[in-house]
Amino acid sequence: MATNLVDSTPAMNNLLGSESDSQRTLYDFCTSHYVESIYERTIRFDPWYPYVTGTSVVGIKYKDGILLAADMGGSYGSTLRYKGVERLKPVGKHSIIGASGEISDFQEIMRFLDELILSDNMWDDGNSLGPKEVHNYLTRVMYNRRNKFNPLWNSLVLGGVKNGQKYLGTVSMIGVHYEDNHVTTGFGNHLARPILRDEWHENLTFEEGVKLLEKCMRVLLYRDRSAVNKIQILKITEEGVGTFPPYSLKTYWNFSAFQNPTVGAEGSW
């Protein structure tokens, strides 16, 4: 008889609010409730539309390690809205990452990586994640999000050196990943890769590497509308990460062909 009484009052409990309400913490409120159904995901608008974006990243292997270059622009559609965004960051002791695409998603990826490196350190076993492992982790993250139709809207470059082995790889927003001696994202694929295919060689010195990257970045500055003239370069060697202050590249406009391009063909451009 007692059990029947209990059964007759479940409706009342819900009116006062579910038990979980009182337990709800700040963190629960701030994180999204994961939508598992693809149908639910597609009826909401614009999960795939990026807002603040970064453009190309260029990365090369050189004699002592890896060099990464990217500009510091955060575009908002066609507006060059933010001009001091760091898109190259160190990851742990052995890697550096560069990202193009939605900046908020890159900031989230950096939080994931911080957690990853932290839990790796907590083992306190003298071992630390190398670039190949970090690249693999990123690949899994990107691919799994793609499968849930909720991608992180980024193309990533991951480079590093561990135990003398140089590593340079890339992951796209749909999880396509590979490694190579030189990798680029975005416009870099079209404008920088042909230059790198032609001029990259094994055992570039630091100076040669930087000049090669600058050649690529200058072309991108001329030809990519979302490029901004403030470059950041990061290097990684067995010794660790090297950061350099942001700087601007000189551009060249003083060609005779540029002075009067429409002479003889008025109205053309």
Partner 1 sequence: MDLDAPHSMGTTIIGVTYNGGVVLGADSRTSTGMYVANRASDKITQLTDNVYLCRSGSAADSQIVSDYVRHFLHQHTIQLGQPSTVKVAANLIRLFSYNNKDMLQTGLIVGGWDKYEGGKIYGVPLGGTILDLPFTIGGSGSSYLYGFFDQAWKEGMTQSEAEQLVVKAVSLAIARDGASGGVVRTVTINSDGVTRKFYPGDELPLWHEELEAHDSLLDILSSASPEPMVS
Where along the sequence are the contacts to partner 1 (CB under 8 A)? 26, 29-32, 44-47, 50-52, 74, 76, 79, 81-82, 84-85, 102-104, 107-108
Q: What are phi and psi of 102, to 5 degrees?
A: -65, 125
d(CA 162, CA 18): 52
Taking the least distance from each CB to partner 1, the nearer of 80 and 219 is 80
The set of residues, in sequence order, having a beta carbon less than 8 Å from that of 216 and lying 6+ positions away, is: 58, 69, 184, 188, 191, 192, 195, 196
Q: How many helices (H) and strands (E) does the chain have?
A: 10, 13
> Which is nearer to partner 1, 103 or 191 (by Cβ)?
103
Nearer to partner 1, 104 or 128 (CB): 104
Least distance between partner 1 and beta carbon 61 (Å): 31
Shortest separation between residue 46's beta carbon and partner 1, angstroms: 6
Q: Which is nearer to partner 1, 45 or 255 (CB)?
A: 45
Q: Give the shortest CB-19-to-partner 1 separation in angstroms.
A: 20
Which C-beta is closer to partner 1: that of 149 or that of 206? 149
Can you give 44-104 as a three-state secondary structure string? Answer: CCCCCCCCEEECCEEEEEECCEEEEEEECCEEECCEEEECCCCCEEEECCCEEEEEEEEHH
- Shortest distance, position 134 Cβ to partner 1, whole Å: 22
Please measure the distance between the N-terminal and C-terminal CA atoms of the chain and give it in whole angstroms.
Answer: 92
Minimum CB separation of residue 51 from partner 1 in Å reads 4
Please state the φ and ψ torsions of residue 107, each to the nearest 5 degrees. -65, -35
- How near is the Cβ of 76 to partner 1 at its closest, in Å? 7
Structure token digits, residue 243: 């950061």
Q: Which is nearer to partner 1, 103 or 129 (CB)?
A: 103
Kind and range of the H or E run holding 135 = helix 131-147
